[in-house]
Amino acid sequence: MTQPFDFDKALKALQAGQAMTGKDGILTPLIKQLTEAALAAELDSYLAQDIEVNRRNGSTKKTIKTPTGHFELATPRDRNGTFEPQLVKKHQTTLSNEIEQKI
C-alpha cells in the first residue's frame, strides 16, 4: 500500500537540496499517489455503470516513466477483464506532461 504524501518531509527534503524532479525527486511519490487514486475512481465509475455482475480484482503493477522520474504504478483491474483505463491505458509505460497536468 502506498504511503500518503508527506508534505513536511517533502519540504525538508527540498530545503536539504533534494531535486523536485528526477528518479528520486520530491514530486514523484505525489504523482504516483494521485495517478493511482484517479485510476481507482475510473474503475469505481466503470463498475457503477456495468450492467453485468462485475467487481474489483486486485491490481497489476507496471513501471511508468514520467518527466519527473519513474515509479511503479498499481493499476486496478476488474473480475471480467473488461475495464479499459483511460488515464493510463493498458500497455502504456509513459506519463506525459498533459496527463500530469490533469491530475
Give 3-59 pLDDT, tens digit per residue: 788 888 888 988 898 888 776 788 888 888 999 999 999 999 999 998 888 999 999
Model confidence, pTM: 0.79
Task: Return the pLDDT at 26.
Answer: 84
Residue ranges of domains in the chain:
23-102
Helix/strand/coil (H/E/C) assignment for every residue in the chain: CCCCCCHHHHHHHHHCCCCCCCCCCCCHHHHHHHHHHHHHHHHHHHHHHCCCCCCEEEEEEEEEEECCEEEEEEEEEECCCCCCCCCCCCCCCECCHHHHHHC
- pLDDT at 24 (0 to 100): 75
pLDDT digits (tens, 9 = 90+) for 54-90: 999 999 999 998 877 788 999 999 999 999 999 999 9
Q: At 67, which amino acid appears?
A: P
Return the pLDDT at 18: 87
Q: What is the pLDDT of residue 101?
A: 61
Question: What is the spatial distance between Cα 40 and Cα 34, in angstroms, rounded to a whole number?
Answer: 10
